[in-house]
């Protein structure tokens, strides 16, 4: 742990309750740039190989997201689930296409890089994959502020895109949640059982470890982002 006016770092650790994993995460930031560095590793403490899914859940809500928001990604593909996420899904199921255009449930073209207003009352999931590089940026064009994330695509080859634009009815949101989540994840689709069936799970041998690093950055006065370097610098 480091704790000074110009450099702060803290390490968290846990042994999971029902599975034999030890997880350690270090968060660090300094006064030279607006970048949060995240270093994490997981160890399999069992005497046998273990399957796992590993991911992050950055979620963004109002007032940061609104219809002026735009998502920037490197070239990739996007899939929609084989079944509708919810009765209020606006995306046609079972698609596999180039980011960012997908087909809507009513045959229209939907640009996933544009956040719609809450009046769409929709709830969807999509999965981006086949990235040239592991990064994204979410920019609010009205407020001229944004958030970017850089990750190692060999560890997190999928980016889950959870979209609940006041279309999540019933418990726990009751139609009030206006949220977009862009989540780097090791596997696809949403459960470990499904990931094993799709052969996308991670496997750690007995005593094996895996490490990764991410960089999260806040920024302002940028209308477009073309990339994020491993150190969190924008270009």
pLDDT at 3 over 90: no
- In whole angstroms, how far apart are CA 162 and each of 73, 192, 209? 15, 18, 29
Alpha-carbon distance 67 to 14, whole Å? 39
Q: Which residue, among 68, 155, 168, has the nearest Cα to 125 in the 3D structure?
A: 168
Q: Which residue, among 208, 186, 183, has the nearest Cα to 199 in the 3D structure?
A: 186
- Alpha carbon 118 to its chain centroid, in Å, reads 21
Alpha helices by DSSP H, listed for 56-186, are none
| Cα angle: 54, vertex 163, 70; to 5 degrees | 100
Cβ neighbours of residue 36 closer than 8 Å, sequence gap 6 or more: 27, 28, 29, 215, 216, 217, 232
What element of type H or E holds 196? helix 192-198
Quick: pLDDT tens for 11-33: 999 999 999 999 999 999 998 88
Quick: pLDDT tens for 217-234: 999 998 899 999 999 999
DSSP code at position 172: T
Domain at 55-202, CATH class: mainly beta
Give the per-residue pLDDT at 5: 80
Contact indicator for 169, 86 with CB cutoff of 8 Å: yes
Give the per-residue pLDDT at 15: 98
Give the per-residue pLDDT at 233: 93
Half-sphere exposure of 29 (CA within 13 A, CB side): 11
């Amino acid at each position: 742990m480091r704790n000074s006016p110009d450099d702060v770092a803290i390490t968290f650790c846990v042994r999971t309750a029902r599975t034999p994993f030890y997880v350690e995460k270090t968060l660090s930031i300094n006064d030279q740039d607006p970048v949060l560095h995240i270093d994490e590793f997981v160890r399999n403490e069992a005497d046998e190989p273990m399957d796992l899914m590993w991911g992050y859940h950055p979620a963004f809500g109002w007032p940061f997201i609104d219809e002026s928001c735009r998502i920037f990604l490197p070239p990739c593909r996007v899939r929609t689930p084989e079944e509708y996420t919810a009765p209020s899904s606006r995306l046609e199921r079972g698609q596999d296409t180039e980011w960012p255009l997908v087909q809507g449930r009513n045959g229209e073209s939907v640009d996933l890089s544009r956040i719609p207003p809450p009046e769409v009352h929709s709830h969807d999931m999509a999965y981006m994959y086949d990235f040239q590089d592991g990064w994204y940026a979410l920019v609010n064009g009205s407020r001229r502020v944004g958030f970017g994330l850089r990750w190692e695509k060999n560890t997190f080859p999928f980016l889950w895109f959870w979209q609940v634009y006041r279309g999540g009815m019933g418990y726990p949101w009751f139609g009030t949640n206006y949220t977009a989540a862009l989540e780097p994840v090791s596997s696809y689709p949403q459960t470990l059982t499904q990931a094993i069936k799709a052969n996308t799970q991670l496997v750690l041998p007995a005593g094996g470890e895996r490490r990764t690093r991410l960089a999260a950055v806040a920024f302002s006065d940028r209308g477009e982002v073309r990339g994020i370097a491993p150190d969190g610098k924008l270009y």
